[in-house]
Amino acid sequence: MTLGGPAGGRGLIGRSLERQDARDKVTGRARYTVDLRMPGMVEGKVLRSPYPHARILGIDTKEAAQLPGVLGVITGADLGDIDPYFGQAVKDQPLLAIDRVRFAGEPVAAVAAVDALTAEEAARRIVVDYEPLPVVRDVAEALAPGAPQLHVDRPRSTLFPDVQDIKPDVTRNICHHFVYRRGDPDAAFRQADVVFDDTFTLPSVHHFPLEPLGAIAHYRGRELTVWTGTQYPFAMRQSLAEMFGLPQSRVRIVVPYVGGAFGSRELIPAAPIAAALSRRAGAPVRVLFSSEDTARTVVRNGGRVRIQSAVRKDGTIIGRRAEIHLDTGAYTDQGSRVSKKAGYRIIGPYRIPHVEVNSYAVFTNTVSAGSYRGFGTPEVCWAYESQLDIIAAKLGLDPFALRMKNLLKRDEEYAPGDRPLDSDMDQALDILAKEVGWREARASGEGVGLACAIKDGGGTRTSSTAIVRLHQDGSATVLASSAEIGQGVQSVLGQIAAAELGIDPSRVTVTAPDTGVTPFDQRTNASRATSLLGHAVQEAAQRVADQVRAIAAEALEASPDECRLEGGGVSAGGRRLGFGEVIQRFFRDAGGELIGYGYQRPAIGLTALGATASFWEIGLGAAVVSVDRETGAISVHRYVSLSDPGRAINPAGVEGQDLGGAMQGLGPALFEGMVYDEGQLVNGSMIDYRLPLFSDLPESFDAVIVEGGGGPGPHGAKGVAEGSIIPVAPAIANALFAATGARVKDLPLTPERVWRALRSGAGRDA
């Protein structure tokens, strides 16, 4: 259901059009990294550490190298002529372990061979002598006095400008400590009528994209080409160029179809391994990880969140303190950034004048934590939205009314100096409450819960460039470098360009990212593509349209402002020229095309995160549940998700993304969690790891799209899709409390946890 939003863009904006990639994907024509074949390509396999923490005393590769069909074997000791470390914030992760392994499954050696079976056999013949070291299993052990020090301080990455303020304390296993303070929190807590102090936990979870990670690399002469489904083609280009000492102009990243990402496909460790093997073997090398290998490559942070709120009797929240500890695993990856985002976002969409936050990312001997939809916000929203219902129950207030009392209004500042709020959160919550029947009588044992979330969207200090080419036959090509990871971005960018040029979207082709061809785009994340890259595409298309008007104006005996673009041509005063005629006039009957470019540059304001938000992405959720008191199993009967895309360029796409995010949120809420035993991941396969199924969907599962405008993108567009995953867990937990009186503060909400909460005396009939 979509609410609001006028028609625009000559009737194309706001229409649910067929996706550019739809037919390829449903017919099986789409080719992913695993489907690609290069002339002379060989296979690479990786030997991984069986230990979560150990010193490498020696590696014997002789038997592996002598196996017929083996073209090359490499270890960390063979990487001395390159910079073997990479990382998005800190260059602390070697492409193959050097001296020490820090998690079970870390790559230790790699083999290139004529086929996969030979490469696997060669990898089995590699003998590694390990000295096991004490294992740091979790945050508590990492921070304990006398804990093993897992890292030395390493250089900062040059990939992004917002990582230079990282404050590690490697002697205490702290990857980054983010501090945020405003107002006078001490005074607020002294003046409070009631102080609430709660601690919430959540485990690490895995993205489990259907296509595991992989890459093909061809190192030839002093040039490197990599084919891989990355979200960060230009960051990967820079990282590989620095690693191998190449100019960026000699490193090319080509992105084929991508089988899902959710934050798991950024630098992709398979790529530098494949590149190093290709350099050794003298042939293109493909390295494909299994699903279990992918689970042992990147996860979402687990951790604990202690949240204290200073509240007046009428429910006004006047202060908040928080201490956040996130398990970032063995390497920094995105841990420092996630801790910053989590610390900044724990305020929630509420008017809280006095705040003090300490957020830590902590090293452990587990899989490294990177990006995941919401980027630190699901972790803290779980805490602040659960606590809001605790506050409401204690003060005898309605949870809906408590939220309405404290919600920020449109144009209010989230934080001093940051972008004012660009959504009507109070109106959105009112719509959601009516949609889910908040005040309706419920059956015995049934409860309804609400949750609201907000995140700064668009990423920190990101930029984009786009090029639009209008061809002589009236068709157009958009060159842009946002990876199509399932969100439909290529179709939306084509729709934006078509609206400006007045042509049918089916005549617009949007290219896949290829750093040798398509222009720079910082990255595909943070729900930024439609709004920020879309702005660049719109600007590029407008420049082409302006050229068409200027060329046609003389022939049509009109001013450029009188010239209208529609139906593949330009008209004024009852006369018309097709685009082909316009281009022929400009090039004097020779062939040619008109080209426009557009830029999106980051905001210049400074905040605790380094730059102001590009827009605010909101996510609201409401759940209706019942609980089997004998087993503790939760049944979600209804779930309603609400988002504000500013302007829905393609409403069906927005709804699909919103519901997809909400469905993904059911997993971490109810059953997902990575399980370790002495540092060993025991549920890394898709058989052992429980993912949401269609059978887990509520009987009623709805998306409400409220078009509030106000975004920086075309026609007021903002990003969506991350917002819908964020409120799912607290909405269900609040519904559980409403139904039974059982408050569970640890995710996931498994039947055993709920059963124990009910048996502890906390349960009652709501």
Residue-by-residue DSSP string for 394-441: HHT--HHHHHHHHBPPTT-BSSTTSPBP-S-HHHHHHHHHHHHTTTS-
> What is the C-alpha to C-alpha distance for residues 754 and 334, in angstroms, rounded to an integer?
32
As separate numbers, helices (DSSP H) first and strands (DSSP E) second, the chain gives 18, 31
Cβ neighbourhood burial of 579 (10 Å; 0-12, 13-18, 19+): buried
Specify the length of the chain in residues: 766
Q: Kindly name the residue from 106, 211, 500, 722 that is annotated as catalytic.
A: 722
> What is the C-alpha to C-alpha distance for residues 70 and 447, in angstroms, rounded to an integer?
62
SS3 541: helix
Tell me the one-letter amino acid at 115: D
Angle among Cα 115, 116, 120 to the nearest 5 degrees reads 125
Strands 70-75 and 107-113: antiparallel
SS3 355: strand
**Distant-in-sequence, close-in-space partners of 170: CB < 8 Å, separation ≥ 6:** 149, 150, 151, 152, 153, 363
Is 722 considered catalytic here?
yes
> What is the C-alpha to C-alpha distance for residues 725 and 545, in angstroms, rounded to an integer?
39
> What is the C-alpha to C-alpha distance for residues 708 and 187, in angstroms, rounded to an integer?
37
Rounded to 10 deg, the angle between the 270-281 and 233-244 helix axes is: 40
> What is the C-alpha to C-alpha distance for residues 604 and 295, in angstroms, rounded to an integer?
37
> What is the C-alpha to C-alpha distance for residues 547 and 555, in angstroms, rounded to an integer?
13
Task: Give the gyration radius of the chain's Cα atoms.
Answer: 27
Closest CA to 514 of 484, 481, 489: 481
Catalytic site residues? 722
